[in-house]
Structure 1
């Protein structure tokens, strides 16, 4: 079976729309799948993420050859499903679904079809799309909402979540962290850092106190003021990469005995995804801190989070989306043949939500 898909070879080559093949045959509307665990989805929308560009811009033309797909997030309609896959997740033909097909150097999701294996991590998170979401919203949430939920899942046991700090609340992940704190984890005090441009929005999502990081060199002093007023934080969620507080953690954050946890998705510094992993050496201290925490040598818990496609977050996220009034943010939409323009929008750092590719 052949269809259109966005492809690339390495950082020296542009994204192009080409032909992709999968081991599926179709006869008179009947599909023959490669295994009983297979799910064939006709893609309606896919979303772009910074990690897509980090991967592409990391591939040297001296080493990497051959075509690779682009994108991880997808939503669409099940057109064929194996018996074992149907038993695993209860899906059936014509179900609207979304998922995170996180297969690095794999076929990608900016394509007319995606073939996933429900027995593998890359396909285990394919879930029925809540009726209240469009296909575009379905493609917009898996990686970022899954990451936000994974951050909460990383917090040590015994944590009350009563008072939390969200660094980078205006980011795609940060917006979901704020909403989870407010609507699912019942946080009574949600202190955030963001710019004045997103302040009113973040307050609508649930923030109780806003620190405008653009008006000071460090967020430390405002955070210390909050500690003086109502005590240390139960948990800190770093959604952008920050090191302002690390020298004062014994004051800012509750200790290990109370489950005090600092969880981050970026380490000590923000990654510049337009250039690949150029500042990864600056993350050495983050990994050393993580080791100290894992061996119990830090007075608080320190976690670095990468979303695992096979963890429990898909069911938690779908439940939250169906039962609560979560806002799913979309910045802009592009057809598949304008994927280069979509990438430019993502690289601009001005996108207020996900950049969506509509597959027609």
Structure 2
């Protein structure tokens, strides 16, 4: 794409973007000006991407829910996940014009992904990868934060998971969906036990879970204890929903840190409703604080770590391998028109009613 084809005037790129300013205001589609480098448009380390699709995540709802107008910029672009095509590539980026890419550019600066074009440095993006052949733009945009978080949870084990026991709490969530798949199909876990509701049981089994436990039943802990009697303790627990009931049974369920045992807990709210956020929803529980203090004082052999998505080497290779082998199930709830249905997309995620990812298409 030549410079003359881009909506640039006075070294500023004018784009339509989905924005917000205050927490209580609805989303709005506005024209935003993005400063660019004269002539080259991009710096040597930057990419300019024409966005085809983005997706909404709970973290986007959190950012908006705690947004106050005096925090710059006034018009913040929502979102982090994206997929699109490179239209300008700096020579130091390792990408070229025409590359189909996906990733996550979530930042605290307010320039998110839900825009017709995005300008960013791929080396500073949390995720920036080429789209595996055959994955649609909408599917690619649904992947980064949730599958990246799942990958990070499992990598936190710090060793080979081949032949190990993995417990995924909240396998019906998007992060849980990919945690099950990656644990079984990529990291080679021997046993993947997953908790979810009955409506997610069939999907969870297809994703690779060996045993599915209905968390809504009072027998959940007993079923986990029965598994341990036969198969041994869990090497890693991936908690995607802050289900801390297992804290009371560490001695029976989880291997101690001396045997590489670990519980990874995804940061977030205790509830799945992000439409009316309160700070108390995100504070650590007494159980967690007590465990943390006891572990640091050497009184507890069980390690609990918080997971907030970071750049992880090997993530792109893992997704590409599962996809090319036909083992990746991409979980999507719905696809919306980015120009007209952005508030509907946001509300569906914020309400906790989405089953899979909600994606917004910019290129129709």
**RMSD between superposed Cα atoms in Å:** 2.4
* C-alpha contact (below 8 Å) 1:219/1:244 kept by paired residues: no
Which structure 2 residue ranges, 5 or more long, are not aligned? 1-12
1:102 is paired with a residue of what secondary structure? coil
| Alpha carbons of structure 1 residues 226 and 211: separation in structure 2 relative to 1, 3 Å | same
Which residue number in structure 2 is paired with residue 225 of structure 1? Answer: 226
Which residue number in structure 2 is paired with residue 83 of structure 1? Answer: 91
* C-alpha contact (below 8 Å) 2:73/2:109 kept by paired residues: no
Which residue number in structure 1 is paired with residue 35 of structure 2? Answer: 23
Which residue number in structure 2 is paired with residue 134 of structure 1? Answer: 136
Deviations 1:90-132 (A, max 9, x none): x210010001001124211111011111342x2x632111012
Cα distance in 1, alignment partners of residues 289 and 71 from structure 2: 27
Deviations 1:328-348 (A, max 9, x none): 111101111210111122133
Alpha-carbon deviation of 1:210? 1.2
Which residue number in structure 1 is paired with residue 347 of structure 2? Answer: 344
Q: TM-score, with normalisation over the residues of structure 1?
A: 0.89
| Alpha carbons of structure 1 residues 162 and 359: separation in structure 2 relative to 1, 3 Å | same
Asked if 1:355 is matched to 2:363, the reply is no
* C-alpha contact (below 8 Å) 1:160/1:234 kept by paired residues: no
Cα distance in 2, alignment partners of residues 168 and 206 from structure 1: 14
- Bigger shift: residues 249-258 or 343-352: 343-352
Which residue number in structure 2 is paired with residue 98 of structure 1? Answer: 102
| Alpha carbons of structure 1 residues 287 and 339: separation in structure 2 relative to 1, 3 Å | farther
| Superposition pairs of residues 161-172 of structure 1, within 5 angstroms | 162-172=164-174
Asked if 1:327 is matched to 2:333, the reply is no
Cα distance in 1, alignment partners of residues 154 and 37 from structure 2: 42
* C-alpha contact (below 8 Å) 2:319/2:328 kept by paired residues: no
- Counterpart of 1:211 (choices 210, 213, 219) is 213
- Counterpart of 2:159 (choices 157, 160, 164) is 157
1:201 is paired with a residue of what secondary structure? helix
Cα distance in 2, alignment partners of residues 266 and 75 from structure 1: 25
* C-alpha contact (below 8 Å) 1:97/1:128 kept by paired residues: yes
Which residue number in structure 2 is paired with residue 113 of structure 1? Answer: 117
Deviations 1:194-227 (A, max 9, x none): 01101111111111111111222x7322211222
| Alpha carbons of structure 1 residues 285 and 268: separation in structure 2 relative to 1, 3 Å | farther
Asked if 1:32 is matched to 2:35, the reply is no
Which structure 1 residue ranges, 5 or more long, are not aligned? none
Deviations 1:277-301 (A, max 9, x none): 3412344653553465467553122
* C-alpha contact (below 8 Å) 1:267/1:283 kept by paired residues: no
Cα distance in 2, alignment partners of residues 226 and 268 from structure 1: 29
- Bigger shift: residues 298-307 or 138-147: 298-307
- Bigger shift: residues 193-202 or 226-235: 226-235
Asked if 1:41 is matched to 2:42, the reply is no
Cα distance in 1, alignment partners of residues 300 and 173 from structure 2: 28
1:85 is paired with a residue of what secondary structure? coil
Cα distance in 1, alignment partners of residues 70 and 37 from structure 2: 36
Which residue number in structure 1 is paired with residue 8 of structure 2? Answer: none
Cα distance in 2, alignment partners of residues 92 and 47 from structure 1: 24
Alpha-carbon deviation of 1:21? 1.4
